Amino acid sequence: MNDVQTDSPSGELDENTFRKSAFYEQLVEHVFISEVLQEAWYRFGETVEVLRSEVDASGYDVVLECNGILRHVQLKTSRSGGKTARQKVNVALAKKPSGCVVWIVRDEDQATSRMSLSYRFFGNAAGDPLPCLDNYPTAKHTKGNKDGLKTERPAIRVIPIRDFAKIETTTELVTRLFGFAIPIAIE
C-alpha cells in the first residue's frame, strides 16, 4: 500500500503522517485487517487467513482466505473527503485468482484516537478474476527521464473512481470478498 493520502484540513496530521509514512501505511493496513478479521469472526463465525506480501511486484499487498475463497488484494487508501480520483493498479493482479483492489477510505477522529473505515472496491464476485484491464489507460511515471519525458509504465493501469463500487461497511466488504450472504438483523 503506497498511496497514503495525507491531505488533512489542519495540516498538522499530514506533516506527521508524511514524515512517518511507512509507519502510517502499516497502521492503516493493521486497522483494515483487524476490521476484516473481527467482521468474519463475530458476524459470520469464520476465520480469515492473512498472508502479507514482502514485495509488491505481483500487484497485491495481502492474501486473504476465507470460506473457500482466496483473494489477492491490492490496498489503496485515502482520507475521507480526499481529492484522489483514480488509482494505479498492477496488471499482474489480473493473473491472480479473485484478485481485487480495496480502496480504504479512512476517517480519523482525534477526539477518540481512532479511525473508522469505509471502502471502494474494484473486482468481481468471490471466485472470479479481476475485470479486464485492457481498456484502461497506461500509467506514466510521475518524474521525467533525463530528457524530461514521463514515460509509460506498461504494467500499471489507471482506474477511475467511478469504476470502484462504494462500500459503506466492513460487513458489505466481507460479504463481497468471501461470498457470504448479508446477515439479516434479528429483532
The DSSP secondary-structure symbol of 43 reads I
- More reliable by pLDDT, 12 or 72: 72
Q: Is the dihedral of CA 79, 54, 171, 173 positive or negative?
A: positive
Q: Find the mean pLDDT for residues 141-168.
A: 93
Q: For the chain, state the CA radius of gyration.
A: 17
Whole-angstrom Cα distance, residue 87 to residue 92?
15
Question: Residue 3: pLDDT above 60?
Answer: no
> What CATH number does the domain located at 12-178 have?
3.40.1350.10
Q: What is the pLDDT of residue 182?
A: 75
Please give the single-letter amino acid code of residue 129: P
pLDDT level of residue 23 (50, 70, 90 thresholds): confident
Give tens-digit pLDDT for 48-78.
Answer: 999 998 887 789 999 999 999 999 999 999 9
- Ordered by start, the domain boundaries in the chain are 12-178
Which residues make Cβ contacts (< 8 Å) with residue 170, sequence separation at least 6? 35, 36, 38, 39, 117, 119
| pLDDT for the residue 9 | 43
Q: Please list, residue by residue across 135-162, b when 16 or more beta carbons sit within 10 angstroms of its beta carbon and e when fewer do.
A: ebeebeeeeeeeeeeeeebeebbbbeee
pTM: 0.86
At 174 the three-state DSSP class reads helix
CA–CA separation, 154 and 146 (whole Å): 19
Alpha carbon 95 to its chain centroid, in Å, reads: 18
